[in-house]
Amino acid sequence: MTVEEAILFLDNLVYEQTEKHLSRLQQSIIRGVVGGLTYQEIQQNEQKYESKRT
pLDDT value for 42: 93
Residue 44 in contact with residue 12, Cβ under 8 Å? Answer: no
Q: What is the largest CA-CA distance in the chain?
A: 33
Q: Is the pTM of this model over 0.85?
A: no
Please report which confidence band the pLDDT of residue 49 belongs to, taking 50, 70 and 90 as the band edges: confident
Helix axes 3-18, 24-34, angle to 10 degrees: 140
Q: Report pLDDT digits (tens) over 5-48.
A: 999 999 999 999 999 999 999 999 999 999 999 999 999 988 88
